[in-house]
A and B are shown apart, each in its own frame.
Chain A
């Protein structure tokens, strides 16, 4: 089992929908959980990070961590075409491990 699993998509949703992106992991030592957004032909940029379990909200984005299930989620409300990108989850104990990324298309 890989340390971090992420569905590669692509995921296509209509504009205005709520998007749910998810990752599962196997290493219970992970403490920091991050979401990066990567536009085509650009470097990843940090969206949000959380420490341990719980929720964190930033505008239209909400990150959730469920350590008991080893499952993290990123929700995007009122999705926009500009949200079309690849979303990578990442987790850290002594090193940072990335998921493979989910390609998201928001359809106008």
Chain B
């Protein structure tokens, strides 16, 4: 049971470099999310995709782009990394259960440092 798989687990970038965080889920969930987690700030939503082919901005989308490649995969791209993007990034997926709840399943996280 892989669940939600994120790569890479760790990455160090220099300011201005670009990179893509990859996320894949094998639970046939429709919705996928990218969060960042910073000390004292909690989990903040960057972008989400309610279904294949759609993406929407979350609370902190500036500096990021996303692609919902297919139902399984949702990638997050930093075009020109900045030190303020140093964070732990979590991908999550969800499906609505019979009660209407959207329960999130998270990946293990990707720890990004921008120098």
Tell me if A95 counts as interface (CB < 8 A to partner B): yes
Let me know if A51 and B99 touch, CB within 8 A. Answer: yes
Select one of B42, B100, B104, B109 contacting A51, CB under 8 A: B100
Known: A43-B90, A92-B102. A8 touches B108 (CB 8 A): no
Interface contact B108-A88, CB-CB below 8 Å? no
Chain B residues in 8 Å Cβ range of A95 = 45
Per a CB cutoff under 8 Å, which of A32, A44, A45 touches B100? A32
The verdict on A43 contacting B108 (CB below 8 Å), with A100-B42, A101-B42 known, is yes
A49: chain B residues within 8 A (beta carbon) = 101, 103
Residues of chain B within 8 A of A99, CB atoms compared: 42
B60 located at the interface, meaning its Cβ lies under 8 Å from any Cβ of chain A in the complex: no
Is A88 touching B109 in the complex (CB atoms < 8 A)?
A: no
- Asked whether A42 lies within 8 Å of B108 as measured between CB atoms, the reply is yes
Q: Interface residue count for A (Cβ, 8 Å)?
A: 23
> Given A34-B103, A96-B104, A44–B40 Cβ distance below 8 Å?
no
CA distance A41 to B90 in the complex (A): 11
Residues of B in contact with A, size category = 10 to 19
In the bound complex, residues from chain B placing their C-beta under 8 Å from that of A45 are 106
A75 contacts partner chain B, Cβ-Cβ < 8 Å? no
- B106's closest neighbor in chain A, by CB? A43
A44-B43, A88-B43, A99-B42 known; A32+B109 contact, CB < 8 A: no
Residue of A nearest to B4 (CB): A43
CA A100 – CA B35 in complex, angstroms?
A: 13
A91 and B102 CA atoms in complex are apart in Å by: 10
Minimum CB–CB distance from A94 to chain B (whole Å) comes to 10
Residues of A within 8 A of B92 (CB): 43
Contact in complex: B40, A46 (CB < 8 Å): no
Q: How far is the CA of A31 from the CA of B43 in the complex (A)?
A: 20
Chain B hits for A71, CB < 8 A: none
14 additional contacts, CB 8 Å, given A44-B106, A51-B100?
A6-B42, A31-B100, A34-B101, A41-B109, A46-B105, A49-B103, A51-B99, A88-B42, A88-B43, A90-B104, A92-B102, A96-B45, A100-B42, A101-B42
